[in-house]
Structure 1
Amino acid sequence: MSELQHDAAPGATSEVRRPRATEVEQHGIDTIPPEHRHSRPLDLFRIQFGGANTFATIILGTFPVLLGLSLWQAVAATVVGVVVGSLFLMPMGLFGPLTGTNNAVSSGAHFGVRGRVVGSFLSLLTAIAFYSISVWVSGDAVVGALVRLTSINDSELLRGIVYAILGAIVIVVVIYGYAFMLLVNKIVVVGNTVLILLGAFAYTSKVDLGYDPGSSAYALGSFWPTFVLSALIVMGNPISFGAFLGDWSRYIPKATSATRLLGATFGAQLMTLVPFLFGVVTATLVAGDADYVVALINLSPAWYAVLLIVVAFLGGLSTGITSLYGTGLDFSSVFPRLSRVQASLFIGSLAFVFILVGRLAFDLVGSVNAFIGAIVICTTPWMVIMTIGYVVRRGYYRESDLQVFNQGRLGGAYWFNAGVNWRGMAAWIPSAILGLLFANYPPLIEGPFRNVAGGVDLSLVVAIGFAAISYVVLLYVFPEPRYAFGPDGSRWVPTRDVTMPEITDDHRASEHRARKRATVGEA
């Protein structure tokens, strides 16, 4: 049985093959072999920053101002949200190199190989939200610039066509896979950063550094509730990467330094302050306008309105790709009937329907607010449980045992109770529910306990606190099997000696695979 050791030889040798960008990726959520581990922490940095250096992040940066904060209050809330979110996110880049697979499958070590569908659900929720946001706002920016610069009239039909073009291009890139996605993000890291920074020349004369709409503008009635809500919305951006970091870090060699991986993630998220603060500052210029994107384009000099089309287009591709890629990858393992390509097409089509319905039938700001809130509340405690599990397991994982469910087999080190580790589940489910009960993301998510602290949103504190405390208590009261830990044993928690379930074939799954092969052969 393959076991991962910390002293394993690095996979980065002269024999490592780096695929061409136009070569369709062959790997799904199977373990990436050493000879295919062609990425570096720098690539992890690029793909995170590229995926967030977009109009979708700019839009999130406008929320603190839209909620009534002054310019400098909004800047403070943005910095707090990015830094705190990054600290929770950092450990999630460690799993991919150790397990050779994505974070949802890796979570099977702590939630069970079947219970890891929690991670798949969070991945799906995040992908639909950020894919939709990216196509929404990027499409609106392209349309707004076209209307400003040409004689074209704005219409729902025009927006639908632009959404469709952007969405289709994203799906095509996702089908090609990781190498193509990495190429796109390398371009966006440099290109969009330069274009966004040029905004300093476009808007300098219009910026009011003393912008302050006054205390009567606070969306939640007073400063602290509004400040906390703003920081939580911003925090949703780094947290949204939690389920996805393993999609990209799985191509990094096993022996890569944990410090370099942590630094790549933290550095990439700090760089997102570029688009975030662009959103903060420009939101003060168009405060009060119903459509930020259109208002900003109308305010821009003609030369910068043209550049905003490029920013919107590149950014829409980058965010959409990073969101959709991982979910298509993971969805194919939850539903083995679908290949990675088929799963990506299915999720992409589902998200596009959501885009059209959401754009035409719902309030964009309210929808984004609610989705971001749900992502933060549900994903952060999952990440906390994963991080605690990583620490007590000393970063030790059995690669082949993580793949049991995906391969239609039973047993192994992470089988626990019929494929579910109820310790992780019993910590995550109540924490997410409690978080939602304390949440205050108006108008769609308003928990019954949202006002217990004078309107200050305690949802994240409650969710994180309950998840961390309950998971540690469960590990002490109901020790995990000794075989789930490495040769050095557990760190800080007790274990129990029991026999590890033997890995066997799930005959129903085997019959399904045989029928699938026969169907393909007949075709």
Structure 2
Amino acid sequence: MKDTTPPPVLAAPGILEVEHHGVEPIPDHERTATPFDLFRLIFGGANTFVTVILGSVPILLGLSFVDALWVTVAGVLLGSLIVAPMALFGPVSGSNNAVSSSGHFGAHGRIIGSCLALLVAVAFYSISVWTSGDVIIGAAHEFFDVPSSPWALGAVYSVLAVLMLVVCIYGFRFMLWVNKVAIIGATAMFLAGIFAFWDKFDFGYSGAFGINGVASVDPAFWAAAIGAGLVVMSNPVSFATFLGDWTRYIPKETSRSKLMVSVILANLATLLPFIFGLATTSIIASSAQPFFEAGDYVGGLLNVSPIWYCIPISILAIIGGMSTGTGLLYGTGLDFASIVPRLSRIQSTILIGVSSLAFIFFGKFVLNVVQSISTFAILIVTCTAPWMVIMIIGFVKRKGWYDQDALQVFNRRLKGGIYWFNDGWNWRAVAVWAVSAVAGLLFVNVPGQFVGWLSPIVAGIDISIPVAAGLACLLYLTVLKTFPEPYEVFGPMNGPSSSQKPMSSTESNATPTSDTLLQQKASQ
């Protein structure tokens, strides 16, 4: 008699159960995350002082509060619309976005996405730790006379970094719980700022260009407005390489529109820390303090804050730094483990965490690159924009179809597969990305830090990201039309060629059977 007993229902791991999954596809029974969880991870990761610092930029560049507000809203909205489709890869591939990029850049070309993710993570992780640590020590010094010294800063940096590392070692579900707490806590602290600064805030703050500067014909105004808008836009765009780290835990059948709406709403919610940065920076500027001229937002904020707000500021620095840092460190550790398969996700996370802490100390106390790291982040985001455009166009062209096994060829140290292209590189995507990224860098304009060679021809207006993204879109569509990709990559309707089944690195002259591939995977 046939056994009709239903299979046991496997429970998903608990919050404090250490995650052991790497970039291999997440089992269906563990895909219990929802679009709302994605919202919390994005909003929690950006509801921090790092976003506040970015929010201070429009005022620092001389815009009035009203103009800065319009620029900020436009930058956040545009950036969220651009990055939203990057949430679609994880549920389909069951892996992170760097692995998914194998489908367009090739089994080896996916290294581009991994390198971009690593550089973005190191930059924003460092900014997060530095900012949070400086705020905590600054508040303690300003209001409780705690000595501000390199030793004190180093101690706070270390504690924050270790806490972030512990969360990342536990993995996705513990990180999700931390972000749930961070959203509530950080939002409450920002809202408390309304009472702290209400009597000092001037909605009519005019800035360097005067009220209603949007009507100005001064080229410097437009350079400041567009430059500020791109800095704001870089915040949502910076999530492009990391969204797959979280959406791989969302069921494949989840509505794509719900995923994209979650990304858009989460980024729109970050207007809270952005506007906090705008308002408080205008207060600092109105007070004619040297902090504003020096671009020292943290020092200026502490100087204008009432004494009772020191505790909320410190809490905000801790929980905000935790939510930002854990998301970045988790994704980088996960991806690095796929590049170096001999390392587990946990080992890779520890290695990246320790290395990042070393960079934080060296960069702060030896090289003094705290100001330069923001410029570096802008350069990396400029290079990420064309990579993101290529991925989105590719997703549309493939109608969201990917072969999960073929995406894992690089991680499993195999050869071949439908994404092998030319020795593991899809020259179409790689060439378009390289040309577009270089073109974008030529138009970067960060005065005193990095000015691209072609920036002067557009009156110093930073159009780096629009150039990089727009050129990538134009070139990639042209290349795909002129040099069509192999029909196998478009899905089972065309049927993959048997000659392109994955081959092991030691058997490159023979096509292994399915059984052979299973044995190879098991042995690894």
Q: TM-score scaled by structure 2?
A: 0.90
Q: Is the Cα contact below 8 Å between 1:413 and 1:500 reproduced in 2?
A: no
Structure 2: distance between partners of 1:109 and 1:460:
24
Cα gap change, 1:180 to 1:474, in 2 (>3 Å): same
Aligned residue number for residue 261 of structure 1: 259
Pairwise CA distance, 1:382: 0.6
Residue 382 (structure 1) aligned to one of 387, 391, 394: 387
Q: Out of 130, 136, 142, which is 1:148 matched to?
A: 142
| Alignment-derived partner of residue 250 in structure 2 | 252
Cα deviation, 1:393-443, whole Å, max 9, x if unaligned, reads: 001011111011101111111111111111110110010011101111232
* 1:432 to 2:437 alignment: yes
Distance 1:134 1:484 in 2: 40
Partner of 2:66: 72
Any conservation in 2 of the 1:235–1:376 contact (CA below 8 Å)? no
Aligned residues: 493
Which residue of 1 is the match for residue 358 of structure 2?
Answer: 353
* 1:364 aligned residue: 370
1:46-195 mapped onto 2 (5 Å cutoff): 46-195=40-189
1:490-509 aligned at under 5 Å gives the runs 500-507=499-506
**1:198 partner SS:** helix
In structure 2, distance between residues paired with 1:252 and 1:179: 12
Offset of residue 84 of structure 1: 1.1
1:352-410: CA deviation from partner (whole Å, max 9, x where unpaired): 22222332333534431x12321321111111000000001001011111011101111
How many angstroms apart in 2 are the aligned matches of 1:445 and 1:406? 36
State the shift of 1:349 in Å: 2.1
Q: Deviations over 1:122-170 (max 9, x none)?
A: 1001100111011011101110111123231111111111111101111
Deviation at 1:508, TM superposition (A): 9.4
Matched, 1:295 2:261: no
For 1:206, what is the secondary structure of its paired residue? coil
The answer as to whether partners of 1:333 and 1:406 remain within 8 angstroms in 2 is: yes
Which position in structure 2 is the counterpart of 1:224? Answer: 222
SS at match of 2:402: coil
Q: Which amino acid aligns with 2:251?
A: P
Paired AA for residue 507 in structure 1: T
Following the alignment from structure 2 to structure 1, what is the Cα–Cα distance between the partners of residues 201 and 411? 54
- 1:423 counterpart (410, 421, 428): 428
Aligned residue type for 1:273: L
Q: What is residue 464 of structure 1 aligned with on the other side? A: 469
Deviation at 1:488, TM superposition (A): 5.2
Residue 243 of structure 1 is matched in structure 2 by 241
RMSD: 2.4
CA contact (8 A) 1:132 1:351 kept: yes
Gaps of 5+ in 1: 1-12, 490-495
User: Aligned-pair distance for 1:233?
Assistant: 0.9
Paired residue type of 1:502: K
Q: Which amino acid aligns with 1:456?
A: I
- Partner residue of 1:492? none
SS at match of 1:480: coil
Which residue in the other structure is 2:412 paired with? 407
Where structure 2 has 5 or more consecutive residues not aligned to the other structure, the ranges are 1-6, 509-518
* Equivalent position of 1:199 in the other structure: 193
Partner of 1:313: 318
- Return the alpha-carbon distance in structure 2 between the equivalents of residues 130 and 428 of structure 1: 23
- DSSP 3-state at the match of 1:231: helix
CA distance in 2, matches of 1:141, 1:18: 38
> In the alignment, what sits opposite 2:284?
286
CA distance in 2, matches of 1:331, 1:52: 23
Checking the alignment, whether the CA contact within 8 Å between 1:481 and 1:498 is kept in structure 2 is no
C-alpha separation between the residues in 1 aligned to 2:199 and 2:97?
A: 46
- State whether residues 32 and 251 of structure 1, in contact with CA within 8 Å, keep that contact through their aligned partners in structure 2: yes
In 1: Cα distance, 2:489 partner to 2:312 partner: 53
Q: Does 1:332 align with 2:326?
A: no
Measured in 1, the distance between the counterparts of 2:32 and 2:278 equals: 37
For the Cα contact (< 8 Å) 2:31–2:250, is it kept in 1? yes
Q: TM-score, normalised by structure 1?
A: 0.90
Give distance in 2, aligned partners of 1:443 and 1:177: 40
- Kept after mapping to 2: 8 A contact 1:16/1:38: no
Cα distance in 1 for partners of 2:368, 2:11 equals: 47
